Amino acid sequence: MATKNYTVKYRRKLNGKTDYRNRLLLLKSMKTRLVIRKSLNNIHVQFVSFDKSGDKIVAAANSKELEKKYGWKFSTGNVPAAYLTGYLCGIKAKHKNIKDAIVDLGLQNTGERLYAVLKGVLDAGINVPHSNEIIPKDDRIYGIHITNFVKSAPKNQFSKNKPENIKTVIEDIKNKINRS
């Protein structure tokens, strides 16, 4: 009679997509999870609550929404876009009566864009436990680094979208988000 010597691991664990130990800890907290995922050009933010039949997405936002609905003319994968995406999702979650959440970054490397999303959610009024040391400085969130780079670049390199005052654009979009 043969005995079982090998246990097959979960497929998502083998593919490096899920850390089940971390996921279990997040689910035990019984709080809504703030799931932040980034790609090269976009930021995806979701508020997810656990249900026995499967996770339920309560509120979601994608950085592409900034272009389509709010007139964002710059890259959708930079720090200011990440901040606005977090702010947009935070406002949507607030309308669904979510008051607090816990951050779920998955297996991603930490980075400024992820924490800019967190800053946007915090500014929208959602309570999320965090350390103030990880939040990007306002210069980064308001795109001062982008403006400085464009000023130092050759003249015709950025003729299409000149981010001369991204801070006012961000404030305008925040006002549009609050009105909608």
pTM of the complete model: 0.82
Query: pLDDT tens across 114-173, in order?
Result: 999 999 999 999 999 999 999 999 888 988 877 777 777 666 555 455 555 677 778 888
Distance in angstroms (rounded) separating the CA atoms of residues 176 and 174: 5
Distance in angstroms (rounded) separating the CA atoms of residues 41 and 76: 6
CATH architecture of 15-179: 2-Layer Sandwich (3.30)
Query: pLDDT tens across 70-121, in order?
Result: 888 888 888 999 999 999 999 999 999 999 999 988 877 778 899 999 999 9
Distance in angstroms (rounded) separating the CA atoms of residues 96 and 91: 9
Long-range contacts of the stretch 136-141 (C-beta < 8 A, 24+): 136/79, 136/112, 140/79, 140/112, 140/116, 141/79, 141/80, 141/83, 141/116, 141/170
Annotated domain spans of the chain:
15-179
pLDDT at 163: 55
